Structure 1
Amino acid sequence: MGEENLKKRKGEDNKKEDGQSIQSHEPQAMNLQKEVGLTSGICMIVGTIIGSGIFVSPKSVLANVGAVGPCLTMWAACGILATLGALCFAELGTMITKSGGEYPYLMEAFGPIPAFLFSWTSLLVTKPSSFAIICLSFAEYTLAPFYPGCDPPQVAIKCLAAAAIGKTENFKDSYKDSSVSFGSIGLAFYNGLWAYDGWNQLNYITEELKNPYRNLPLSIIIGIPLVTVCYVLINISYFTVMTSTELLQSRAVAVTFGDRVLYPASWIVPVFVAFSTIGSANGTCFTAGRLIYVAGREGHMLKLLSYISVKRLTPAPATIFYGIVAIIYIIPGDIDTLINYCSFAIWIFYGLTVLALIVMRFTRKDLKRPVKIPTIIPVAVTLASILLILAPVISAPELAYLYCVLFIGSGLIVYVLFVYFKFNWPQKISKPITMHLQMLLEVVPAEEVTE
């Protein structure tokens, strides 16, 4: 009896150790863990969206539409489109509860080729260039206070402008001198929507969401309208202290705003912008790694990229690889150019993914749909994506758009060779490299989850 009591006491001690329950002492399954709740989901959406865009895009949006009125209208319209797109992804994410964003939806609706082309383009173009834009913005705003020569206004002008806070002269005749055209609207949307990019980030980590049927749509419904209101108010605050011309001439809009409102405490603005951008970069890196992980798990990328860390149960190889590719984009990176061509590629697949939702309404009626939105919403988003893709190409055709399409198409060659015909590198080369990387990174293949 004494021995049994001792064993029982030891078992109770194990339960209480470090304040953990006995479940924590059981071996964890080697796969991604469900640890993201509603609050974390909202923070992920808001924190990833509010990164560099609101500090970079205002100049480009204004430059394309030419006046304050259309500019503010564009910011509100971008918020509405982002919300509608996110609602489509909410239905997709609760219908197909797999991580990887657009990848599993394209796979389910259209098969492996569109899914592979998405992962191919995301891995080498859209995700790393997006990460590069955020990091370039972080660097630009962090260095801005150390180069006062880049700030056009003088001390007297700053003080005079600060005294005028709250006045509305810049909003009079706000639609006068606007230069709105089919192409300029498309480019303005590109830059505005770039600031909202991140509305689909939770779909990349669906497998790590607690109760995704509830938390995914709720996070979207709460998070994106919150960001939309915030963005419109921020732009109003910009135009309150700057004219259109002054905003276009500013090297760093938020820094100029801070100079006029908070002088001499204007250093606070670039510090907070730096925090915002680095936080968004962290969220972007977190979610993009999951796409590469899922593609590797499906055999569409190197198998090593689907391995997970033994200690942290995260896709470490995928995240590291993503970071390396992003660094390549930073070297020659120009923020405005990257935004335009990145947005062009992104909206090709956004449109295709929302079209997949419409297609599966007819081809996969058997799938459970905890969230079902009116059909008019995915139809509207699909049409909007088509217009966004065609607008800049028709009005201001550039070879870069053709190169982008050719690059996406080149993924077909890679798919045929390495996925369809399963051409593998010689085992003498690939096997020892994989083995050594496994030991270095302490990663193992994920266990299959049976639902």
Structure 2
Amino acid sequence: MERIALALSFVMGAIIGSGIFISTKGALQNSGSIGLCLFIWALCGILSIILGLVYAELGVMLPKSGGDYTIIKTGIGRVPAFLVSWTESIVSPGGSTVQALVFADYVCAPIFGKCGAPNSIRKSIAAAELLILAITNTISVRLVSSMQGLFTVLKVMVLVIIIVGGFVSLFEGKTENFNDAFQGSTNDVTSISLAIYSCMWAYGGYTNLNEIAEELIQPKKNIPRAIVLSMTFITMIYMCTNVSYFTILSKSEFLSVSAVAYSWGEKILGTAAIIIPIGHQNRIRRSIVGTNVAFFASITNSIHHLGKDQDIVFDHVVTNIGNAYNQHHGTFVAPVGGTYVFSVTLQQDGETTWGHFVVNGAVVAKLYLKTGQGASQTIVVNLSTGDDVSVQNTEINRGFYGDLYSTFSGFLLNEDLSDTQIIG
């Protein structure tokens, strides 16, 4: 139950944001009528559920974290996957900038009213918000996770207030804005396409669940369930929010303002409309690098004449998720705090010797290798961010077999969300 709640919170937190507050104007402007606008919102909701189920199927087939990158890399290859990730690294900040500017518009709306805020103030507020979010994402994983949940609740609360306020007026008989609802509907394909694009942008985010696929218990059951439940709920919220908007604001009023939700709030909430900007807070992006850390390396060529207390370098890296293992120095550096499991197998090449598991320079476990024989050892340790783990030789002029017989591996068992250290 906890994991499905995590999945629902993750999807809803990723989707519900500035989209429902900014896309409504573009959808109405391009569709030409309230009726067609509502139809497109419903259509895009259904389409998003279908696309979400496609991603759910991919998530079940490939229950690995990484989102689009993992899917494309597995299906097509490394180069297309890299290009998608590279493109996303350019496009994604642009989307965050748009959201920040929308947030700035709503912050400025109570102060400047219909006059509009100067661009310098809008951009300064947006830049400050992005800077705060960047610092927050850097400082602490636990803080990010907490804020993700907090802002999801606050955003839904704001939308519930809008829905309740609008439907109260609707049940009181305020229905004049829905008379001839389809009057002015466009039949231009380009305009309808733009309206659909505006709505689909608001629904964007259902693909994010695949980024935490490995964290879900029973992904074959929980991924489709999370997609259907979250997208159905979001579609209902978006539809009800738009009905509330159109109940209070006429078509001309709707298109004449930049902060639609705040204009709605002024009519229904009065001075309490100041709470509306809460719903426009940029989503907090939870770092996922810490939740996926694993490596496996072996020795290619036999090692001879090692020095006393020298790190053994396992140079052949098969897996290095999180890039925490350095094959040039033979050292693992924890990217996040948590409980880690490490295993080593050494095949002795020469006289009897010992090997040590070393954490931050301190020996935590030993291996005894008789002449011509091997030994294995496994440890479970709690590490903080930046702690290092290595395997060391203990005697002068000792050696170990290569040819992949000697191996070193480890993975993150459980992340410690209270760890706030940063590798700088």
Q: 1:288-329 CA deviation, whole Å, 9 max, x = no partner?
A: 8689999xx99999958998633269xxxxxxxxxxxxxxxx
* Residues 417-432 of structure 1 mapped to structure 2, 5 A cutoff: none
Matched, 1:239 2:246: yes
Shift of 1:448: 5.7
Residue in structure 2 matched with residue 59 of structure 1 by the alignment: 25
Given that 2:72 and 2:80 are in contact with CA atoms closer than 8 Å, whether structure 1 keeps it comes out as yes
Q: 1:214-235 CA deviation, whole Å, 9 max, x = no partner?
A: 2211111111000001101100
Shift of 1:40: 1.2
With over 3 angstroms needed to count, the CA separation of the structure-2 counterparts of 1:45 and 1:254, relative to structure 1, is same
Shift of 1:105: 1.5
d(CA) in 2 for partners of 1:93 and 1:187?
A: 29
Percent sequence identity over aligned pairs = 35
Given that 2:293 and 2:412 are in contact with CA atoms closer than 8 Å, whether structure 1 keeps it comes out as no
Residue in structure 2 matched with residue 228 of structure 1 by the alignment: 235
Q: Choose 1 or 2 for highest CA Rg.
A: 2
Residue in structure 2 matched with residue 137 of structure 1 by the alignment: 102
Matched, 1:310 2:254: no
Residue in structure 2 matched with residue 204 of structure 1 by the alignment: 211
Matched, 1:273 2:239: no
* Residues 347-386 of structure 1 mapped to structure 2, 5 A cutoff: none
Which structure has more helix as a fraction of its residues?
1
Given that 1:64 and 1:180 are in contact with CA atoms closer than 8 Å, whether structure 2 keeps it comes out as no
Residue in structure 2 matched with residue 344 of structure 1 by the alignment: none
Secondary structure of 1:146's partner? helix
Matched, 1:262 2:269: yes
Instruction: Give the count of matched residue pairs.
Output: 272
Report the AA paired with residue 269 of structure 1: I
Shift of 1:43: 1.2
Secondary structure of 1:205's partner? helix
Report the AA paired with residue 273 of structure 1: G
Given that 1:49 and 1:195 are in contact with CA atoms closer than 8 Å, whether structure 2 keeps it comes out as yes
d(CA) in 1 for partners of 2:18 and 2:176?
A: 28
TM-score normalized with structure 2 length: 0.57
Residue in structure 1 matched with residue 49 of structure 2 by the alignment: 83
Shift of 1:131: 2.3
Given that 1:119 and 1:291 are in contact with CA atoms closer than 8 Å, whether structure 2 keeps it comes out as no
Q: 1:261-313 CA deviation, whole Å, 9 max, x = no partner?
A: 1113222222x324xx24xx11xx2268689999xx99999958998633269
Which structure has more strand as a fraction of its residues?
2
Report the AA paired with residue 138 of structure 1: F
Shift of 1:184: 1.3
Residue in structure 2 matched with residue 38 of structure 1 by the alignment: 4
* Residues 86-165 of structure 1 mapped to structure 2, 5 A cutoff: 86-125=52-91, 127-150=92-115, 165=169
Matched, 1:442 2:390: no
d(CA) in 1 for partners of 2:21 and 2:291?
A: 27
With over 3 angstroms needed to count, the CA separation of the structure-2 counterparts of 1:93 and 1:165, relative to structure 1, is same
d(CA) in 2 for partners of 1:121 and 1:74?
A: 28
Report the AA paired with residue 58 of structure 1: T
Report the AA paired with residue 256 of structure 1: S
Given that 1:165 and 1:261 are in contact with CA atoms closer than 8 Å, whether structure 2 keeps it comes out as no
Q: CA RMSD in A?
A: 3.8
d(CA) in 1 for partners of 2:103 and 2:54?
A: 31
Residue in structure 1 matched with residue 298 of structure 2 by the alignment: none
Secondary structure of 1:251's partner? coil
With over 3 angstroms needed to count, the CA separation of the structure-2 counterparts of 1:291 and 1:107, relative to structure 1, is farther
d(CA) in 2 for partners of 1:304 and 1:175?
A: 58
d(CA) in 1 for partners of 2:81 and 2:18?
A: 28
Match for 1:179 among 186, 197, 212?
Answer: 186
Report the AA paired with residue 442 of structure 1: G
With over 3 angstroms needed to count, the CA separation of the structure-2 counterparts of 1:299 and 1:185, relative to structure 1, is farther
With over 3 angstroms needed to count, the CA separation of the structure-2 counterparts of 1:258 and 1:293, relative to structure 1, is farther
With over 3 angstroms needed to count, the CA separation of the structure-2 counterparts of 1:109 and 1:181, relative to structure 1, is same
